[in-house]
Amino acid sequence: MDEPTTSVGQPDSDSVESAAASAEEGQAGEGDESHPDMLWYVLKVQSNREKSIRNSLLRGIKREGLEEFFGEIIIPTEKIVETKGGKKRTTEQKLYPGYIMVQMVLNDDSWYLVRETGGVGDFTGSAGKPIPMQQHEIDRMLGREETKEESSAKIKIDLMVGDTVKINEGPFESFEGVIEAIDPEHGKITALVEIFGRSTPTELEYWQVEKI
């Protein structure tokens, strides 16, 4: 049998290590995850179509009766907390746009089904052969490396040290200050605010200020 080929490069491993990821739920079928040939592969797909392509894969697997060769099909995401108008909103953001993680047994049938699914570019790999990901790499990409704060969301703070901001809420409303420090983990900033003629470090919630 001819061996499956590929030409797409693998995602940047440096960005993988720092990612705090969560994953969309869902199993492709009832494949035996202990199967020695059940490995994780990365697919290059069309950006902004990851979810519909994943659903097409699931339908194709069921239609062709190949459930035993597939495990999970995942789009890695992370939770982002944004505050607008004083209201917090949590959204999911794709960690690796244009990529899908597939757990599968690579054989002629499974390879053909994946490659023939609309929107799928190719497996990542090198030397003309799909390269499976190591389990520890997948664990990092899916946030399974440690149990620390698995459900926590990353807070999006569009501010930098040195920015001049206006305080919109709290006891110092309408005051201006310069950001001295940012604590993204807790969503707080420290700004130097002039109070009674003195520059005073003041801790604020990031959503209480706006850049000017």
For residue 57, the model assigns a pLDDT of 95
Which CATH number covers residue 23? 3.30.70.940
The per-residue pLDDT for 164 is: 93
* Same domain, yes or no: 173 and 85: no
Are residues 149 and 170 located together in one domain of the fold?
Answer: no
1 assigned to some structural domain: no
| Dihedral of the alpha carbons of 2, 35, 122, 67, in degrees to the nearest 10 | 100
CA 44 to CA 66: how far, in whole Å? 21
pLDDT at 131: 84
Query: Is the Cβ–Cβ distance between 33 and 70 less than 8 Å?
Result: no
pLDDT at 30: 42
| 126 and 71 share one domain | yes
In terms of domains, do 46 and 130 share one?
A: yes
Per-residue pLDDT of the chain in tens (212 residues, 90 and over written 9): 444 433 333 444 343 333 333 333 334 444 444 566 789 998 989 988 999 999 999 999 999 999 999 999 999 887 777 766 667 777 777 888 888 999 999 999 999 999 899 999 888 875 557 888 887 777 777 765 444 444 456 677 888 899 999 988 877 888 999 999 988 878 888 999 988 778 888 888 888 888 88
User: For residue 26, what are the CA distances in angstroms to 5, 30, 44?
Assistant: 27, 11, 19
Pair 84, 171 in one domain: no
Looking at residue 77, its pLDDT comes to 83
Structural domain boundaries enclosing 33: 13-155
Q: What is the distance between the alpha carbons of residues 27 and 30, in angstroms, rounded to a whole number?
A: 7
Among candidates 195, 128, 122, 207, which has minimal Cα distance to 168?
207
CA distance 58 to 77: 19
138 plus 112 within the same structural domain: yes
8 within a domain of the structure (yes/no): no
- The structural domain count of the chain equals 2
